[in-house]
Chains A and B, each alone.
Chain A
């Protein structure tokens, strides 16, 4: 735990943001996958299935995890500056 630093928090945020940004840029949006899994007769295609599912997981990360880790990194840097 003591080896952790603010940069690791930023790395976690980037690890979520980058693949999410790639899916978003590719035009893939969520939910299609959930609809497809429950009503398989309406499955559009496998790429949407996989991409949509991943998009939703990453979207949850973007709104819940990324801001928390970035805010935590900022607080950490601020505290370290005060301690220095």
Chain B
């Protein structure tokens, strides 16, 4: 075997040239090493989340960690797991009985806490600072998500009259409050409305028509008209994220809100939802060297970095929250290229941690983040 002599002097251009060639080979192709099948990831995420809900001591630890940061995460973690398991049961990805066991235990515990502690238990502390403008005090954040959990659960099996009654009561309450609001959007916090929650409420109301034969078509039509007229950012055409009860803008378009709203609006007005997706994809979606991510804000608007946006990565303006929720929207509209690019980024930057018993979690995430990813990756068949 011939050995290159160590004493032989290489030309000076050899080092930069070989480095340049190596970069040209590696950079366009290294995303392939971080590709994974979204469905396999969803199975592992579901294993982990089901374990959390069937092993109370593990769940309490995960919930306590989140509540130290944000009580909303405790609530949303429940919603996303329940929505995801209902979706997976509908797609025959898990046995119906397994899904219903977990969904029902989530509902039972959540409703019990709400009754004992009040809905503010699941809100940030500033929910206590003032009464709601619409009385009596209620949060559309809590009502809309509970209603949507029951709506999806009833599609799996409509065998619980008690849940049906709770669903009908929540829907009637939401419609009443939204109907009385100036722009037909109701409060999640005192004088603070969120597109995230109002779109979820509109989805639950739409499901009420399909499940129970109610007729809210006129209300939904009016709600869409007011939404398009008053709650769209003039610069980008995207839905804004938060506003006062009278429609005065608090925060412009945000990734952590728009992707979820698109997911919900696909049930309410698919054409409008797809139009919003195209705008959000253009304004917020990015793909660099095969790795996808989503910005929290469009270039024309910059909001505050907060607990919703997560840590926004400098220079790229990549937001973990926006990127995780973008997985949900991309999967729902069937944007496979962006979905796979987002999953590659997840594998690169979120540090997957595999359990011995087949579950997966992400070191950069927490229970609610993993639940959002699970729900997003459970949309694959749509």
Contact = CB atoms under 8 A, between A and B. Distances in A.
Q: Do A and B bind each other?
A: yes
B113 interface: no
A30 B350 CA distance: 8
Contact of A31 (B8, B10, B351): B351
B246 to A, nearest CB: 32
Interface string B36-70: 00000000000000000000000000000000110
A31 B350 CA distance: 8
A53 B224 CA distance: 46
B18 A5 contact: no
A71 B23 CA distance: 8
A33 B68 CA distance: 17
Interface string B5-47: 1101111101110110111011100100000000000000000
Contacts of A72: 15, 18-19, 21-22
Given A29-B363, A63-B348, A38 B311 contact: yes
Contacts of B23: 68
Given A29-B363, A30-B364, A79-B14, A84 B8 contact: yes
Interface residues of A, number: 30
B123 to A, nearest CB: 18
Contacts of A26: none
B2 interface: yes
A81 interface: yes
Which of B2, B14, B27, B68 gathers the greatest number of chain A CB atoms within 10 Å? B14
A36 B202 CA distance: 37
B30 A63 contact: yes
B351 A68 contact: no
A70 B311 CA distance: 33
Contact of B68 (A5, A38, A42): A42
A53 B8 CA distance: 41
A35 B2 contact: no
Contact of A76 (B14, B68, B348): B14
Contacts of B351: 29-31
Contacts of B4: 77, 80-81, 84
A65 to B, nearest CB: 10
Given A38-B311, A71-B25, A30 B363 contact: yes
A63 B353 CA distance: 18
A80 B2 contact: no
Given A29-B353, A31-B363, A63-B30, A2 B22 contact: no
A31 B27 CA distance: 23
A76 B351 CA distance: 33
A9 B4 CA distance: 16
Given A2-B9, A4-B10, A39-B69, A75 B21 contact: yes
Contacts of A79: 14, 18
Contact of B22 (A5, A31, A75, A77): A75
Interface in A41-84: 42, 63-64, 67-73, 75-77, 79-81, 84
A1 interface: yes
A1 to B, nearest CB: 5
A66 to B, nearest CB: 10
A79 B9 CA distance: 13
A34 interface: yes
A71 B311 CA distance: 33
Contacts of A68: 19, 22-23, 26-27
19 contacts: A2-B9, A2-B10, A4-B14, A30-B364, A35-B311, A38-B311, A68-B23, A71-B21, A71-B25, A71-B26, A73-B18, A75-B18, A75-B21, A75-B22, A76-B10, A76-B15, A76-B18, A79-B14, A81-B4
Interface of B: 2, 4-6, 8-12, 14-16, 18-19, 21-23, 25-27, 30, 68-69, 305, 307, 311, 348, 350-351, 353, 363-364
Given A4-B14, A32-B363, A72-B21, 15 more contacts: A1-B16, A2-B10, A2-B11, A2-B12, A38-B305, A39-B69, A39-B307, A63-B30, A63-B348, A69-B19, A71-B22, A71-B26, A75-B22, A80-B8, A84-B4
